[in-house]
């Protein structure tokens, strides 16, 4: 019993088939790009917040819950976030002739230490604003816990960053807070927010 061995006959693609393949790859590529764009566009969709009284305008992520109270000018938070809701909060404080940025940040620290669990200041730095001016930042962490005494909520470690700048006799403080495990990932949201911030 014998076997006939040898190389298979080469199949030659026709030009039409070659172009079809090229178009297919291009189509797939375009689809991926479009998908990515669509996703980015969805994720990065934003709304405009404008407060004439405080003189503040900013863009914030779509479908973040917007609130305004006497404690701050406004706050937006991502309620779809599983766990601690990433949030950005903008507040203004009056500034006296002798007030320094550190005075204001220390005041925030003293106040927070009374209500936030294990509130710890991690450090201070400089943040360059879109107009190339320098703002002072204070990074911190604390433990967040669901307030309901009847639920078994697990505490979360929250990282925060305050960006403080003094302008026209008032201090504007942008506070950004997110679960510590995703803080760096979420940080881009803060950067985009500050890029859009006008005051």
Partner 1 sequence: MNKLSIYVLGGLLLSLFAPSFGFAQTDLDAIKRATVFIYQVQSLANDLVVKCVSTGTIVSADGLIVTNAHSVVPSQTCDGETLIVSMNVDLNEPPVPKYRAEIANADQGLDIAVLRITRELDGRTIAAGALPVLPFVGIGASADLGIDDNVFVSGYRDIGNQAVTIARGTITAFISEPRGGTRAWFKTRAELPGTMSGGGAYDSLGQLIGIPTSAKYGRPVTEDSCRFIEDTTGDGLINSSDHCVPTGDFISTIRPIRLAQSLIRGAALDLRVQIHTVPASMLLSSEPPTVSRLIFSPSVVDGLPSTVVGAMPANTNSLYLFFDYRNMTPETVYELRVTRDGIPDATFSLPPVHWSGGQNGLWYIGSRDQPWPNGAYQFTLLLNGLAAASQRIVVGGGADNSARFSNIVFGLLDNHGNLIGNGYILPIGTIAYARFLYANLRDGTPWSTIWYYGGAEVGRSNDIWSRGANGSDVVQLRPLGGLIPGKYRLELYLDRVLSATSDFVVAGSTGGPLPAVFSNGRYVSASSVFDARDSIASSAFTEAVPSIFALFDWQEIAAGTDWTVRWLVDDLPFFESTYAWVTVESGSDFMLSVDSPPDGNYQLQLLVNNLQILAIEGTVGIGQLPIDRLAEYEGTLLRGRVLDAATLNGIANVTIVLISEDYSASEFEWKEEQVFATSMTDRNGDFQFARPLAADTPYSVIVAADGYLPLAADSFQFGADQRAVDITMELVRGYLND
67 touching partner 1, by CB under 8 A = yes
Q: Figure out which of the listed residues 13, 28, 30, 117 binds partner 1, where binding follows CB under 8 A.
A: 117
Minimum distance, C-beta of residue 79 to partner 1, in the bound complex (Å): 4
- x/- mask, partner 1, residues 134-163, rule CB under 8 A, reads ------------xxxxxxxxx---------
142: Cα within 13 Å, side-chain hemisphere: 17
Q: Does 102 bind partner 1 (CB under 8 A)?
A: no
Q: Which of 134, 85, 88, 141 is nearest to 116 (CA)?
A: 141
CB of 52 to partner 1, least distance (A): 17
Name the nearest CA neighbour of 122 among 177, 41, 197, 78.
177
Beta bridge partners of 145: none
Please answer whether residues 49 and 59 qualify as being in contact, where contact means their C-beta atoms are separated by less than 8 angstroms.
yes
Cα-Cα end-to-end distance for the chain: 91
Under rule CB under 8 A, residue 48 binds partner 1: no
Residue 116 CB neighbour total at 10 angstroms? 18
Minimum CB separation of residue 33 from partner 1 in Å reads 15
User: Does 115 contact partner 1 by CB under 8 A?
Assistant: yes
Q: Which is nearer to partner 1, 8 or 48 (CB)?
A: 48
Give the separation between CA 182 and CA 65, rounded to whole angstroms: 19
- φ/ψ of 125, rounded to 5, equals -155, -175
Q: Is 31 in the site for partner 1 (CB under 8 A)?
A: no
CB of 118 to partner 1, least distance (A): 9
Q: Which residues of this protein are in contact with partner 1, per CB under 8 A? A: 38-39, 42, 63-68, 79-85, 114-115, 117, 146-154
């Amino acid at each position: 019993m014998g076997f006939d061995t040898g190389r298979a006959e080469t199949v030659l693609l026709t030009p039409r088939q070659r172009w079809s393949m090229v178009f297919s790859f291009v189509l797939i590529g375009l689809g991926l790009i479009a998908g990515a764009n669509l996703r980015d566009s969805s994720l990065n969709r934003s709304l405009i917040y404008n407060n004439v009284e405080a003189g503040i305008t900013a863009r914030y992520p779509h479908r973040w819950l917007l609130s305004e109270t006497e404690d701050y000018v406004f706050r937006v938070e991502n309620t779809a976030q599983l766990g601690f809701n990433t949030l950005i909060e903008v507040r203004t404080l009056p500034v006296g002739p002798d007030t320094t940025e550190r005075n204001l940040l220390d005041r925030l620290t003293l106040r927070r230490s009374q209500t936030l669990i294990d509130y710890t200041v991690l450090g201070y730095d400089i943040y360059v604003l879109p107009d190339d001016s320098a703002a002072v930042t204070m990074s911190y962490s604390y433990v967040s816990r669901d307030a309901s005494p009847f639920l078994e909520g697990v505490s979360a470690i929250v990282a925060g960053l305050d960006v403080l700048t003094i302008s026209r006799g008032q201090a504007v403080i942008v506070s950004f807070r997110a679960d510590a495990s995703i803080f760096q990932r979420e940080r881009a949201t803060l950067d985009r927010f500050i890029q859009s911030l006008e005051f």
